[in-house]
Chain A
Amino acid sequence: MKLRVGHLYPDYLNIYADRGNIAVLIERARLRGHELDVRAIGMHDRVPVGEIDLFYVGGGQDREQALVADDLAAKAPPLRGAVEAGAAFLAVCGGYQLLGRFYRDVAGVEHPGIGLLPLHTVAEPRRMIGDVLLECTWAGRTLAGFENHAGRTLLDEGAEPLGRVVAGFGNDGRSGYEGCRYRRVYGTYLHGPLLPRNPWFADHLLAEALAHAGGPTELAPLPDELERQAHAVSAERARSRGGRF
């Protein structure tokens, strides 16, 4: 069936290979006979409520985040409505921060978030850069990736993290948690080619989008030999050198 993806601010928030995540979603859907219709939702564009099964927002530098923050605030009501109606959402790095209540950058400037996720973020001078490995007990799987952020993200009491940090910094380098889950929304600092080397997570997002679209959520397994190799190397990197300043 046809799945509709809304890519928020692709011209602004694309610092780390976000198009790789989109390419993986398109191809893995195609191999199962589904078609992904990806449309850009840019500055001043209307959020087509009810017409999007999966939203995507990527990462940017402080400057780009500041450029989109006001526009995103104006889009908060329709985005919240879509999420409450069951739309799926993947938010990476800078985009993840903007889904919280606010992001205070290193200069102390506070950018409003849209309060979709129960968290806020405060930047500190020392960036947390390196390989990360997460254990997602809710899925019985691991996620391997790379993080690079000055922001320390603090989850509200009772908020669900995306995973427990096995190696790396995660949300704030202290809590032992990374990312956040709420309904079908997933926020994470694992940027760029997160989905190529974590194909189960790509398939999970596709299943969430299919559920919103009212289709069958079963996805036939794919060979994924290259994906397994890439995941193994990335996970090993996190174990040997993740989470160090």
Chain B
Amino acid sequence: MRPPIPLALESAALRAAGTLSRLAGRGGGTTLPGKLLWKLDPGAIDVLARRLPQGSVLVSATNGKTTTSAMVAAILRPRVRVAHNDSGANLVSGIASTLLRAGEAELGLFEVDEAALPEVARRVRPKALLLGNLFRDQLDRYGELEIVAGRWRDAVAALPDAQLVVNGDDPQVGDLARLHDGARVFGLDDPRRARPALQHAADSKYCLRCGTPYEYAAAYVGHLGDYRCPNCGHARPPLDVVGRDIELDGLDGASFTLAAPEGVTRVRLALPGLYNVYNALAAGSLALSLGVPVADVGAGLQRFSAAFGRFERIAVGDRRLLMLLFKNPAGANVVVRTLVEASAPRVAVIALNDQIADGRDVSWIWDVDFEPLVDGLDALVVTGERAAELALRFAYGGLPRERIEVVPSLGKALDRGLELTPAGGELTVLPTYTAMLALRRIVAARGHVANYWETAA
């Protein structure tokens, strides 16, 4: 067996590799050092994590983990020096990279990929674990939802001393609280914001215990809500932290009352939509478990501005881009709902790539409820590697074919979308993950936004 390289030496070499990669313009060098470390000496990650004087906290979910962990960082930063993988590199290698750069940080805050959670938890031994939701996403990578849920159960069972914070509104995730003493459960309680029925893409519709379809007193986002099994009584666990009196202010923001055993505060967010209320409630619940006073939780969430690229407006000459990431049916459904409730776009550019980070299987676009957008659209430009697939989705969804333009090149599609947008107007752009990165590079090359590793520094 090869002896492990001394850490100090290794870190210097790996930091140099990161600088080289950044200079070579290969995506900011965010994960290359971590990948090297992971290859050279995986156990070094455990050692590096143990050096953080206040330990680590992990955040995982199918939807909202990047935004949620950025919110947690905003709440914690005034009190503690945080090492945070804020570029979204959330596999073991990305966390290793962040640990290598941790320097004087006191606390590790890691967003973790759903499938990577058991491995990361085993190595990092977090003192707190926030689990937000499980939706079907990239089944081509993860196999089945049940498999991921089973791995989460094992990860939680292996951390009996960690503080567990879970979303009680998700049947699979909320049930983890029953396996763990002292878990903190959060959820929404505002039936005015509920959907009349479960959306098509709802995932965990059947009772975990007996398989009977759940009955929902309120369904908020996908299968998240106040559920109860009419047959065996399996139901949402009692909530410790409740979000209520929710006000949605179109694309401009949202506000809600956060009620916890520690106190009550009114939270105003600069982010739109019910899904961001979930993200904020999750972040706030974790911060309370870490001992942050309730007033500071509210203030931190208020300070927070949109996590990179999930939702942003970019001025491009005398027009604006409104860019919203879409990545799986549940996530895309909330994006569509938020857009239509604010004001449905008349022109849109939608970009579908099929690289690993997007999901190689593009079937999921058929599970998105795009139909509310169809009536308002005068023109749709579809782009990306699977542009034609997207065109078919809208054609069979009722958009007349003469309103659909297939422009596979992202740059040309952007130009065409801007051309179709009146001066002073806003162009809605919905890209999948790698399409979003590519579009940002295109816009940045034209001098409109900074690259993310510059803004994230």
Given contacts A17-B367, A148-B140, A197-B389, contact A62 B395 (CB under 8 A): no
**Distance from A234 Cβ to chain B, minimum over Cβ atoms (Å):** 8
Q: Classify chain B: how many residues form its interface, as a range.
A: 20 to 34
Complex partner residue of A127 from B143, B145, B366, B367, CB under 8 angstroms: B143
A61 touches B363 (CB 8 A): no
Docked complex Cα distance between A150 and B147 (Å): 12
B366 and A20 contact, CB distance less than 8 A: yes
Asked if B177 is an interface residue, CB under 8 A from chain A, the answer is no
Number of interface residues of A (CB under 8 A): 37
Q: Name A184-218 residues within 8 Å CB distance of B.
A: 191-193, 196-197
Say whether B38 faces chain A, with CB atoms less than 8 Å apart.
no
B391-419 interface code vs A (CB 8 A; 1 in, 0 out): 11101110001001010000000000000
Chain B residue contacts of A63, Cβ below 8 A: 144, 146, 206, 211
CB contact list, A44-85 vs B, under 8 A: 61-64, 66-67
In the complex, which residues of chain B have a beta carbon less than 8 angstroms from the beta carbon of A127? 143
Query: Are the CB atoms of B361 and A226 closer together than 8 Å?
Result: no
A196, B354: Cβ atoms closer than 8 Å: no
B213 at the interface (CB under 8 A from A): yes
Question: Which of the residues B213, B363, B386, B388 comes within 8 Å of A17, measured between beta carbons?
Answer: B363
Q: Is A16 in contact with chain B by the CB < 8 A criterion?
A: yes
Residue B327 interfacial (CB < 8 Å): no
- B290 → chain A closest CB, angstroms: 35
Which of B139, B140, B385 is A233 in contact with, Cβ under 8 Å? B385
Contact A67 B206 (CB under 8 A): yes
Q: Is the CB of A23 within 8 A of B397?
A: yes
Is there contact, CB below 8 Å, between B145 and A226? no
Q: Which residue of A lies closest to B367 (CB)?
A: A17
CA A63 – CA B388 in complex, angstroms? 33
When each residue 39-83 of chain B gets 1 if its CB lies under 8 Å from chain A and 0 otherwise, what string results? 000000000000000000000000000000000000000000000
**Closest B residue, CB atoms, query A150:** B143
- Contact A196–B396 (Cβ < 8 Å): yes
Bound-state CA distance A61–B363 (Å) is 15
> Distance in Å from the Cβ of B110 to the closest Cβ of chain A?
27
| Given known A61-B146, A193-B366, contact A148–B396 (CB-CB < 8 A) | no
State the Cβ distance, B332 to closest chain A Cβ, in Å: 13
Q: Are A19 and B200 in contact (CB under 8 A)?
A: yes
In whole angstroms, how far apart are the Cα atoms of A192 and B388 in the complex?
Answer: 16
In chain A between 101 and 152, which residues have their CB closer than 8 angstroms to a CB of chain B? 127, 129-131, 146, 148, 150
Answer yes or no: B360 CB below 8 A from chain A CBs.
yes
Residue of B144, B354, B360 touching A61 (CB-CB under 8 A): B144
- Evaluate contact between B392 and A196: CB separation under 8 angstroms: yes
Is A237 in contact with chain B by the CB < 8 A criterion? yes
* Residue A38 interfacial (CB < 8 Å): no
A86 to chain B, nearest CB (A): 28
Nearest residue in B to A194 (C-beta to C-beta)? B363
When the two chains form their complex, are residues B363 and A16 in contact, meaning their CB atoms are under 8 A apart? Answer: yes
Whether the Cβ atoms of A230 and B206 lie closer than 8 Å is: no
Is A233's CB under 8 angstroms from B386's CB?
yes
CB of B394, distance to nearest CB on chain A (Å): 10
Contact pick for A15, options B139, B354, B388, B406, CB 8 Å: B139
Instruction: Kindly identify which residue among A62, A66, A130, A227 contacts B360, using a CB–CB cutoff of 8 Å.
Output: A130
Is B146's CB under 8 angstroms from A62's CB?
A: yes
CB 8 Å contact bits of B265-308 with A (1 = contact, 0 = none): 00000000000000000000000000000000000000000000
CB-CB contacts below 8 Å: B158-176 with A: none
Query: Is there an interface contact between B366 and A191, defined as CB atoms closer than 8 Å?
Result: no
The minimal Cβ–Cβ distance linking A93 to chain B, given in whole angstroms, is 10
Closest to A199 in B: B392
Q: Cβ of A146 and Cβ of B363 under 8 Å apart?
A: yes
Q: Are A146 and B361 in contact (CB under 8 A)?
A: yes
Complex CA–CA separation, A63 to B136 (angstroms): 14
A127 and B144 alpha carbons, distance in the complex (Å): 10
Closest A residue to B204 by beta carbon equals A63
Using an 8 Å CB-CB cutoff, how does the interface string of A136-171 with B read, 1 for contact, 0 for none?
A: 000000000010101000000000000000000000
CA distance in complex: A148, B205 (Å): 22
> Given the complex, which residues of A lie within 8 Å of B393, measured CB to CB?
20, 193, 196
Q: Closest Cβ of chain A: how far from B382's Cβ, in Å?
A: 9
- Report the 5 A-B pairs with minimum CB-CB distance, sorted nearest first: A17-B366, A192-B363, A20-B366, A229-B388, A230-B388
* Further 20 A-B residue pairs, CB within 8 A, beyond A15-B136, A67-B206: A16-B361, A16-B366, A17-B367, A20-B363, A24-B396, A63-B206, A66-B211, A146-B140, A146-B360, A146-B362, A148-B139, A148-B140, A150-B143, A192-B366, A193-B366, A197-B392, A229-B388, A230-B386, A230-B388, A237-B354
19 example contacts (A-B, Cβ-Cβ < 8 A) are as follows A15-B136, A17-B367, A19-B200, A19-B366, A20-B363, A27-B396, A62-B146, A129-B140, A146-B363, A148-B140, A148-B143, A193-B362, A193-B363, A193-B389, A196-B392, A229-B406, A230-B392, A234-B389, A237-B360
Residues of A within 8 A of B (CB): 11-12, 14-17, 19-20, 23-24, 27, 61-64, 66-67, 127, 129-131, 146, 148, 150, 191-193, 196-197, 226-227, 229-230, 233-234, 237, 241
